[in-house]
Structure 1
Amino acid sequence: MKMHALVLGFLFGLLLFVGLNGLAQDNSGLPKGVGPISEVELAELDPALAEAGKASFEQYCTACHKIEERYIGPALLGVTERRSPEWIMNMIINPDVMIQEDDTAYELFAEFMTPMANQNMTEEQARSILEFFRSNDAE
Structure 2
Amino acid sequence: MTGRLGPILLAAFILAGLAGCKSGSEEKAAGGSPAEIAAALNEGPRAAESMTLNPGLASWGEQLFKDKACVTCHAVGERKQGPDLAGVADRRTERWMKRQIMDPEWMLKNDPIARGLMAEYALQMANQQVKDAEANALIQYLLRETLAGR
TM-score by length of 2: 0.65
Is structure 2 residue 134 aligned with structure 1 residue 125? Answer: yes
Deviation by residue 1:67-94 (Cα, 9 ceiling, x = unmatched): 1111110000100001111000100000
Which of 96, 112, 120 aligns to 2:105? It is 96
Aligned to 2:63: 55
Is structure 2 residue 84 aligned with structure 1 residue 83? Answer: no
How far off its partner does 1:54 sit?
0.3
TM-score by length of 1: 0.70
Deviation by residue 1:78-118 (Cα, 9 ceiling, x = unmatched): 00001111000100000011001000000000100000000
TM superposition outliers: structure 1 runs of 4+ over 2 Å: none
Unaligned runs of 5+ in 1: 1-27, 34-39
Contact 1:64 1:72 in 2 (8 A): yes
How far off its partner does 1:44 sit?
2.6
- Root-mean-square deviation over aligned CA pairs: 1.9
Which of these two proteins has the greater Rg computed from alpha carbons? 1
Identical positions, percent? 32
Q: Tell me which amino acid in the other structure corresponds to 1:118.
A: N
**Alpha-carbon distance in structure 2 between the residues aligned to 1:93 and 1:52:** 17
**Alpha-carbon distance in structure 1 between the residues aligned to 2:92 and 2:121:** 18
Unaligned runs of 5+ in 2: 1-24, 26-38
**Alpha-carbon distance in structure 1 between the residues aligned to 2:40 and 2:120:** 19
